[in-house]
Structure formats: C-alpha cells, structure tokens
Amino acid sequence: MSRIELASVSKTYDNGVAALKPVTLDIAAGSFVVLLGPSGAGKSTLLRTLNGLETPTSGEVRIDGEVLCRANLRAMRARIGMVFQQFNLVGRLNVMTNVLCGTLGKRSSLGSLFFLMRRADLELGHAVLARVGLTDKAWERADRLSGGQQQRVGVGRALAQEPAVLLADEPVSSLDPATSREIMDLISDIRRRDGITTIVSLHQVELARRYAERVIGLNDGNVVFDGPVGDLSDDVLRRIYGNGGHSGDVADA
C-alpha cells in the first residue's frame, strides 16, 4: 500500500493542448480517492501519468518516494494495477489467461512466452476469479462475456498483480447503472480488505458521493477541489462542472 506524490506534474500534448496544468498532490497509502470532473478535464491524463502511460511534460511522480522514470517503469508498473473503461481484454484468450496477464510483470521467464504458467500463479488466478465471482467462466473466451463480466475480468487482472496501487480509468462509463454499482462495490470491497491505495476517475457525481473518501475535482486541467467527500457541496460542483461541463453530469447529483 503505497503513497503517491505528484510534484508539479503537467501534460501538454504535441498539438498544443494543455490537458493537465501543474498539479501537486499527496495521496496517503491505502486511501480511496475519486477524480471527478467533466469529459476532457484531465482525469484520464492525470491517472495515466501515475503508471507511465502518459509521460509528464514537467514535474515528477513519486511512488513511496521513488521517482517514476524509464529505468524503473516496468518494475513500478508491476505494482500498479489498472482497470480501463473499455476493459481492454485480449478477446481470443480465455478469462483465466486474461487474469494471468497481471502476473507477467513479475515473470520475465521464457516460459511466459509460451503461455507456460507456474502452478502458484494458476492458484493465484483461481483465487482472484473467486473474488470477482467468475470462477465458472474461467475457461471461456473473454469476448463472449457481457460488459459487466468483462470488467470483472479487468479488475481480476489488476488484482493478479497483487498491487500496491489500483488505478481505475472511468471503469463504469461503458456499463449500465446497476452493473456500475456492482463494479464499484467490487473495487470498494477490494480496497477495504486489502488496503490498496485506490484512485478512480469518474464523471458520475452520485457514484463519487457513494464510494469516495477523498474527492479531487478537476476542470480544464486544473485541480479546483481537493477534500473529503462530505465537502462536496453544490457550490463545489458548480466549480468542477462550471465551464463546458456536461449538464448531464450535474443532473446525476
């Protein structure tokens, strides 16, 4: 359970778009943080700098005091699990294999190139599948599952890394409300039992209210709010969703 620090991290893309203005944050080990904001606010960008999927234009990211850079990228990534909006599974492979992708960071062996897995890893996979409730689908092709089930596999894959940090980039935006709550329950439960530092980006205010401890509100690349979820007043929401925010997101509140 790792502590994450961002020191003046900013990201400007090659086409000139300043997706993230310099941000300094300190996220305590084991906390549950929700990044809230409208589309294009920079939530995804911020999240992706934490595991190196985006390289900051300035500033540095530190995990347990160690700076994230090219040299230690792989080792760091192995400790950081990520759940994606589009699930990003390998459709043709079965559920168990998709989950076992999570162990690749720890196993650079030749065997992994031939899909040979250690017994210990398979047992880990089995345990993970039980936790996400997909034991009976272990050998099915991932692309035959429903959206909610596929996301469970995504969560499972992250769990298989036995991570110190869990990142979730709009994990429920492609799911219906009932399934969304199931997935958020799952993530919340994992965090409660394992104490993993969890950062989830959402645009649905209602879900933020239900699950977050701390909310960081973003608008147009800037942090406009940072505090406990209890302080999420209508005023604050207006600040977050003010210019160019989707009125639909505010209606969620």
Partner 1 sequence: MTLPPLPKKPFNPTPVWVALVAALFYVVAVELDVGFGELAWGARDMVEFMSRFSSPDFSDIGRYARLMGETLAIGLWGTALAVVIGMLAAPFAARNLSPSPVVYRVTREVLNLVRAMPDLLLALIFVAAIGLGPLPGVLALGLHTGAFLGKFYAECLERVDRGTYEAVRASGANFLQVTVWAGWPSILQELVSYAIYVLDRNVRMAVVLGLVGAGGVGIALTTTLRLFEYNRASALILVVLATILAIDYLSAWLRAKVR
Partner 2 sequence: MAGTVAMWPTRSGWPPAGALAAGAAILALLAVAAPAAEFDPVRVIDSLGAMADFAGHLLVAPDWSYLPDLATKMLETLAMAFLATVIAAVLSLPLGILAARNATPHVAISHLTRQLLSVMRALPELMWALVFVSAVGLGPLPGVMALAFVATGFLGKFFAETIEAVDTGPVEGVAAHGAGWLQVRRYAILPQVAPDFIGIVLYILDHNLRAATVLGLVGAGGIGYDMVMSMRLFQYDRIGLIALAIYVAVTVLDRASDQLRRRVI
**Strand-pair partners of 141:** 94
**Residue (43 or 77) nearer to partner 1, CB:** 77
**Residue (66 or 123) nearer to partner 2, CB:** 123
Residues in contact with partner 1 by CB under 8 A are 51, 53, 74-82, 84, 86, 88-93, 97, 101-106, 108, 112-115, 154, 157-158, 161
* Closest CB 96 distance from partner 2, rounded Å: 5
Residues in contact with partner 2 by CB under 8 A are 94, 96-97, 100, 111, 115-119, 122, 125, 138-139
If contact means CB under 5 to 8 A according to the sort of partner, which of partner 2, partner 1, none does residue 42 touch?
A: none
**Residue (65 or 115) nearer to partner 1, CB:** 115
Other C-beta atoms closer than 10 Å to the C-beta of 197 total 24
State how beta strands 80-83 and 165-169 pair. parallel
Segment holding 216, helix H or strand E: strand 214-219
**Residue (162 or 252) nearer to partner 1, CB:** 162
If contact means CB under 5 to 8 A according to the sort of partner, which of partner 2, partner 1, none does residue 69 touch?
A: none
* Closest CB 95 distance from partner 1, rounded Å: 13
Output the DSSP codes for 17-38.
Answer: -EEEEEEEEEE-TT-EEEEE--
* Closest CB 139 distance from partner 2, rounded Å: 5
Three-state SS for 71?
coil
* Closest CB 24 distance from partner 1, rounded Å: 24
If contact means CB under 5 to 8 A according to the sort of partner, which of partner 1, partner 2, none does residue 237 touch?
A: none
Q: Which residue has the tokens 């104490």?
A: 195
Angle at the Cα of 98 (from 168 to 52), degrees rounded to 5?
A: 40
Contact 184, 198 (CB under 8 A): no
Q: Which of 52, 47, 78, 67 is nearest to 7 (CA)?
A: 67
